[in-house]
Structure 1
């Protein structure tokens, strides 16, 4: 099956509401992370960060709450093996699958034309 045919099949499955278990798990992790950060539960949010992302913050619990991350409805989930992107209203997150589950590698990300995303929190 060619790439074009696979893309059509994938789009048909998504349109039919058949999201994968990975999609649901990724979206749930992103929602838990944004909810914790938005409600001032920095410790819980930091536990959902990839280790490198958590280490990139001097005071994770304080900085993750003050980063201004936005919660919102999930608008899209893309999973590529062990990497994923979640788009919510006004925010984009990138996640990585670790043995213990999905963790946030970058959050508060804004797209830039022909450049990498610019993120508030990233590994």
Structure 2
């Protein structure tokens, strides 16, 4: 075998694991960017008081809980939920198909669905040694 094919083989063996590692990170990074965009979009429709878009941004089970709690369709019930404005997205942690978006003054929990990231819980405040307390959440 000539020196050139050996050199290429060594290069591929050396760079192969690095390429695979970076490819794996790219997927998580892309999901994080998508979850962050969904959190920012949720905050925008909240600020715009667009009840239809706000309901569309909720995960199906969360939307169902909002409707059940007020005994009204989501667009009529969401205003009574008193969801606080969270401000800018500061960080996003992605765990498979779940994400936590930490905003300036709120935390959102999201889940990935076939049609994109949806908010599972909003208005969430951390509590020491206990689960988050959320204004809106699924069952």
- TM-score of the pair, normalised by structure 2: 0.70
Residue 25 of structure 1 aligns to a residue whose secondary structure is helix
* Distance across 2 between alignment mates of 1:91 and 1:82: 21
- Is residue 86–residue 107 contact of structure 2 (8 Å, CA) maintained in 1? no
Alignment counterpart, residue 94 of structure 2, candidates 70, 79, 99: 79
Corresponding residue for 1:42? 51
Output the aligned Cα RMSD. 1.7
Q: CA contact under 8 A between 1:110 and 1:117: conserved in structure 2? A: yes
Q: Which blocks of at least 5 consecutive residues in structure 1 are unaligned?
A: 1-12, 14-18
> Counterparts in 2 of 1:27-66, with a 5 A limit?
27-58=36-67, 59=72, 60-66=74-80
Listed as ranges, the matches of 1:64-103 within 5 Å are 64-66=78-80, 67-103=82-118
Structure with greater proportional helix content: 2
**Paired residue total:** 106
Who wins on radius of gyration, i.e. which is larger?
2
Gaps of 5+ in 2: 1-24
**TM-score for both structures, normalised by structure 1:** 0.79
